[in-house]
């Protein structure tokens, strides 16, 4: 399977968004200009999805792009529901907070903690909507 993926997937470029919608839009537009055969995007910060779909709409809306976004901001979830974003990587803020408190308690007891702490993520698609309200508490538009 990995050899099959190597033949099908090529990373055309990596651009920074400065964690802003306009930055993501500009970065996506640059990638679209630089790579005529581009078919997909992955935005790794919360506002990237909205910026990516904005650039796609302005650049060449007739091409079908696969867009993977990050986090459950209302605009991102709406775009997932509309079909302009195909999937979203989501964090679990309750789990993050719970693990943080557990770590603090262990540290206070003098126990050693690992320097890196990992929390789970999930990928949601249109069929997973609507999300439960508890899944969306952390999403606030700046």
Tell whether 69 is covered by a domain.
yes
CB 66 within 8 A of CB 40: yes
| Overall number of domains in the chain | 1
Three-state SS string over 77-138 comes to: HHHHHHCCCCEEEEECHHHHHHHHHHHHHHHHCCCCCCCCCCCCEEEEEHHHCCCCHHHCCC
Condensed to tens digits (0 to 9), the pLDDT of residues 58-78 reads 886 556 899 999 999 999 999
Residue 11 has pLDDT above 50, yes or no: yes
Tell whether 76 is covered by a domain.
yes
| Mean of pLDDT over the chain | 87
Tell whether 32 is covered by a domain.
yes
Residue 89 CA: distances (Å) to CA of 37, 58, 73, 77: 24, 24, 11, 11
Return the residue matching tokens 């696969």: 66
Strands of the sheet with 40-42, listed across from one edge: 40-42, 66-70, 87-91, 121-125
Distance, CA of 118 to CA of 98 (rounded, Å): 12
Condensed to tens digits (0 to 9), the pLDDT of residues 104-137 reads 999 999 999 988 888 889 999 999 998 875 544 4
Tell whether 98 is covered by a domain.
no
The domain spanning residue 31 has which CATH number? 3.40.50.2300
Per-residue confidence at 6, pLDDT binned at 50, 70, 90? low
Provide mean pLDDT across the span 10-19. 92
Range of the domain at 37: 2-90+121-126
Tell whether 84 is covered by a domain.
yes
CB 71 within 8 A of CB 50: no
Tell whether 82 is covered by a domain.
yes
Tell whether 6 is covered by a domain.
yes
């Amino acid at each position: 399977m990995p050899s099959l993926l190597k033949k099908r997937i090529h990373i055309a470029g990596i651009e920074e968004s400065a964690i802003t919608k306009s930055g993501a839009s500009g970065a996506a537009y640059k990638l679209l200009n630089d790579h005529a055969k581009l078919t997909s995007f992955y935005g790794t910060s919360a506002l990237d999805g909205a910026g990516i779909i904005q650039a796609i709409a302005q650049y060449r809306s007739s091409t079908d792009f696969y867009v993977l976004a990050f986090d459950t901001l209302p605009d991102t979830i709406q775009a997932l529901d509309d079909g302009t974003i195909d999937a979203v990587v989501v964090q679990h803020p309750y789990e993050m907070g719970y693990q943080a408190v557990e770590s603090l308690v262990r540290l206070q007891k003098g126990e050693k903690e690992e320097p890196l702490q990992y929390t789970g993520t999930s990928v949601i698609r249109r069929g997973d909507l609507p999300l439960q309200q508890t899944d969306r508490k952390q999403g606030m538009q700046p």
